[in-house]
Amino acid sequence: MSLEERAKAAAKNIEGKVQEAVGEITGDPKDQMAGKAKQVEAAARHVKEDIKDDFKRDVDQV
C-alpha cells in the first residue's frame, strides 16, 4: 500500500470538494464541474491503490 499515493488522493478529494463548494457559492458551473472531476480522479486513485494492495496480498500468499 502506498500511503503517499493515498494521501495524494485524499488531498485531491478535499481540493475537489472545496472547488465544488466555491463554484456553488459563486454560481460558477465550471468550478463545480472541475471540483467534481477532481473528486472522481481521487476515487479512481483509491481504487487503483486497492487493486495494487489486493494483487500484492495475492502474490504474497503464493
End-to-end CA distance of the chain: 18
pLDDT at position 1 over 60: no
User: Are 39 and 18 a contacting pair, CB within 8 Å?
Assistant: no
Cell output for 55: 494483487
pLDDT computed for residue 53 by the predictor: 92
pLDDT digits (tens, 9 = 90+) for 4-61: 999 999 999 999 999 999 999 999 999 999 999 999 999 999 999 999 999 999 998 8
